[in-house]
Amino acid sequence: MSIVVVGSVAFDSLETPAGKREQALGGSANYFSLSASFFSDVKLCAVVGSDFPESHVELLRSKGIDTTGLQRKSDGKTFHWKGRYGTDLNEAQTLGTDLNVFADFDPQLPASYVDARTVFLANIDPDLQRRVLAQVKSPRLVGMDSMNLWINIKRDSLIQTLNMVDVLFLNETESRLLSGEHNIVKAAKGVQALSKRPLTLVIKRGEHGALLFHPEHPIAFMPAFALEDVYDPTGAGDTFAGGCIGALDRALSRGRRIDDATWRQALLTGTVMASFVVEQFSFDRMLTLTGEEIMVRAGALKRMTTVEAIVDLR
């Protein structure tokens, strides 16, 4: 029993105000897996080309990540994204996208993956997301991510997948685009209304934190952790999702209910993990991160967000 994540493993060439990196390791499944691995067992399904270093596969395994589902295509190259960030680190300018072997990605789950307790569908074609769900038996928690591209060109397919998941991660722009509403609260309700089953929506707001909308609980808000230096925000959203889903799966493994307190803990956990990954390029910071550092920062963020003062009009 574990988390199965299906998404991209890639090379990123990027420029930020802090500097440049060429062919840095990236991809949604990479960032998610490294984050979630601090809290639960992770099984990764993705595709890479002949140019992908075996040393990185070994690195994933050293973190306890199962790479049985990592397909290697000898006749192609790994997905490569080129981008630039300006002073607004919430938005990236895409300079080039070479899908390479990712263009024909057909996720096939190994037999050891199909009994997963939790499934996370990272940002891939919604048709492929449903193909993954058809291969797993009876997961207790299913999460998914998406993007503007699929909302624009495969809206019906995306909504079909949406009706099969428990929690959806979107940013503000995506939630507005999918719902047709500008106000963020109305947008959240509009997205939830697209699903025929209870849907929890997490809206990622970058440096402005995250909002969680649950069908039965009050809205939860978590501010971002205040940082002096941000080097690379590329994988922040996927790292955030990895922390959230990892915390939820950990709770399930311990027999806990996914109640309001559990959701809020997941939001805190995801925020803390995202705060670490942006401190260096790629996921370099995640490779030196310790459990003690995570708990210390979680405590600091909790203290920052706890309000003990009252408004007294007597």
Which H/E stretch holds residue 253? helix 236-253
Q: Cβ-count burial of 314 within 10 angstroms (0-12 exposed, 13-18 middle, 19+ buried)?
A: exposed
CATH number of 3-305: 3.40.1190.20
pLDDT at residue 234, rounded to an integer: 92
Contact 213, 188 (CB under 8 A): yes
pLDDT at residue 126, rounded to an integer: 96
Question: CA 185, CA 179: separation in Å to the nearest integer?
Answer: 11
Domain ranges of the chain: 3-305
Place of tokens 């589902």: 69
pLDDT at residue 89, rounded to an integer: 85
Buried b (16+ CB within 10 A) or exposed e, 163-177: ebbbbbbbbbebbbb
Divide the 314 residues of the chain into consecutive groups of 10 and give the mean pLDDT of each group: 92 93 94 97 97 94 97 95 89 90 95 97 96 96 95 96 97 96 97 97 95 96 93 95 98 95 97 97 94 96 82 83
Contact 46, 9 (CB under 8 A): yes
Helix orientation angle between 28-36 and 54-62, rounded to the nearest 10 degrees: 30
pLDDT at residue 314, rounded to an integer: 81
DSSP designation for 186: H
pLDDT at residue 203, rounded to an integer: 98
